[in-house]
Amino acid sequence: MKTPLLPMLLGALAGGMGWGIRGQYGHETGAMMAGLLVSSVAAVLFGGQASGLGTLRAIAWGTLGIGIGGSMTYGQIIGWTQNHQNIGDWNAWAWGMQGLAVTGAIWIGFGGAFLGMGLGGKKYTATEMLVLLGCLLGLYHLGVWLLNQPFDPKNQQLPWLYFSNRLDKPRFECWGGLGLALTGLLVYLAGKNDTLGWRLGWFGVLGGALGFPGGQSWQSWHAWNREWIATSWFGPWANLINWWNLMEITFGMVMGATLLLGLWWNRARIHPADLDCELSQAKATDGWFLFAHLTLLSLAEFLEVPLLNTWYGLGLVMVVLPLVASVESCRWSGWVVGPVVVLPIAGKTLRYMVERHGELSAMDGLVYLVAPLVVAFCFAWRLNRKVRHGCDGSGVGCRVLLFGAWIFFLLNFAFFDYPWPWQPWTGRTPSALVYVVCLAGLSWVAFGMPAERASCQTGGPVH
């Protein structure tokens, strides 16, 4: 590709759809959807005849990495730019936008760094990854102590640099901890000479710093100009737009386009390292690790267990087991892009349906939870089998992109209460139509580019 236009366009479609859908699910596991879609587009476009196992692991690492930033709070930061009492206060608006730039930079910086680590060809061992993540967790606590403490709202003791609302139910911020951890990660990658890792990490920082405040510009513009908009020709349409979701879609588009620009810029450095399946950890060990992670993840996501919610609910802890397990396993990366990502999304969809519509039938549980999980496990099993039989990097990307785009779209469509365009429109209908466009574009690139993407359909290398 001579220009970055196609990668940036497809990255925008993947990021916009993934991050927009994330708005319904939230936090770390929601962000992983965007990570999976953007990383899969990268694999489709730049995987070529690279190692299928290595490329699949890169997708898994990009998926997990972008979830780390979901531990940060940002709702009150957005409030500075659009709450009624702040309308017309440019200082409050600027402060909120600065906070969003910092939050976005850290969030996407992790995703870019881990995706680059997977695609850059540098060898990592399970022990090295475990020690690295342990050091990042230590830096996180140090950064929280330095920048996000003290936090004692009852005694009116808050950090000196605090982006949320100091007066109205202050929220704990951890951007300082994650920011120091990201700095440590980038320094480590530079020292290890993982050039693609630290370069793509910086492109992630750029994409997040531009994308979050860029997306919020739409929402704050609407909040500041409600009366003028209401009397304009656009007024009736403005009432049908979910402006918060528009912010999320725009954020995702900017960050996805920026990450793909970074990959195009450094495309000569993309050569994901292969894995030796003969040295891969035993199936039994893999299975126990998967059972442990899914159990802890389910308890942290769906039950109120304070210690577990605080511990395993932290992004840097949540990704330790799958990241370490996937370093030397030929099965774990497939599980990450399958059941590990789908479980919390399907569970939250079912929970929402119960909360909105009351007690549901056994068929509802089957449709919204059991069936997606069965599909995810079957997909992971088949994908791992295809990879072991020689499916190349581009073919892996095609499969993961199609699976992720369709299952996330369908679950979100249910979450949206099925906003068919021929029914009365709600605030969810325009967003759903945007996702349809994104889904069509991603499906086209994964399935409809026949010649150079033949491996996606055959499972074998392109000759």
Is 463 among the domain residues? no
What are the structure tokens assigned to 103, written together? 């939050």
pLDDT in tens, the chain (463 residues): 789 999 999 999 999 999 999 999 988 999 999 999 999 999 999 988 788 899 999 999 999 999 999 999 999 999 999 999 999 999 999 999 999 999 999 999 999 999 999 999 899 999 999 999 999 999 999 999 999 999 999 888 999 999 998 887 899 999 999 999 999 999 999 999 999 999 999 999 999 999 999 999 999 999 999 989 988 888 888 888 999 999 999 999 999 999 999 999 999 999 998 876 655 667 777 888 999 999 999 999 888 877 888 889 899 999 999 999 999 888 999 999 999 999 999 999 999 988 887 777 788 889 999 999 999 999 999 999 999 888 888 999 999 999 999 999 999 999 999 999 999 999 899 999 999 999 999 999 988 654 344 343 433 333 2
CA 102/CA 92 separation, integer angstroms: 16
Q: Tell me, yes or no, whether 210 lies in a domain.
A: yes
- The pLDDT value given to residue 27: 87
In the DSSP assignment, the letter for residue 420 is -
SS3 (DSSP) at 167: coil
**CB–CB of 278/290 below 8 Å?**
no
Q: Which two tokens stand for residue 440?
A: 């069509």
Token readout for 46 is 């730049």
Taking alpha carbons only, the member of 391, 455, 428 closest to residue 55 is 391
Q: What's the chain's length in residues?
A: 463
Two tokens, residue 226: 């409600």
The count of other CB atoms within 10 Å of the CB of residue 95 is 16
27 occurs within a structural domain: yes
Q: What are phi and psi of 152, to 5 degrees?
A: -140, 80
| Element of type H or E holding 36 | helix 27-46
| Widest Cα–Cα separation across the chain | 69
In a domain, 283, yes or no: yes
pTM of the model: 0.94
Decide: 365 and 34 in contact? Cβ < 8 Å.
no
1: number of Cβ within 10 Å? 10
Instruction: Please indicate, yes or no, if residue 19 is contained in any of the structural domains.
Output: yes
Which amino acid type is present at position 319? V
Query: What was the pLDDT predicted at 181?
Result: 98
3-state secondary structure of 183: helix
What crossing angle do the helices spanning 393-415 and 52-67 adopt, rounded to 10°?
40
> Structural domain of residue 301, as residue ranges?
5-458
Number of domains in the chain: 1
Q: Is residue 424 part of a domain?
A: yes
Asked whether residue 354 is domain-assigned, the answer is yes
Peptide bond into 306 cis (omega under 30): no
Report the chain's terminal Cα–Cα distance, integer Å. Answer: 19
- Of 62, 364, 1, 384, which Cα lies nearest the Cα of 196? 62
| Sign of CA pseudo-dihedral 177, 182, 183, 187 | positive
CA 457 to chain centre: 26
Structure tokens at 367: 């449709």
Q: Does residue 93 fall inside a structural domain?
A: yes
- Rounded CA gap, 124 and 130, in Å? 10
Q: Please give the Cα distance from 154 to 149 (Å, whole number).
A: 14
Q: What is the pLDDT of residue 61?
A: 98
Contact between 268 and 1 under an 8 Å Cβ cutoff? The reply is: no
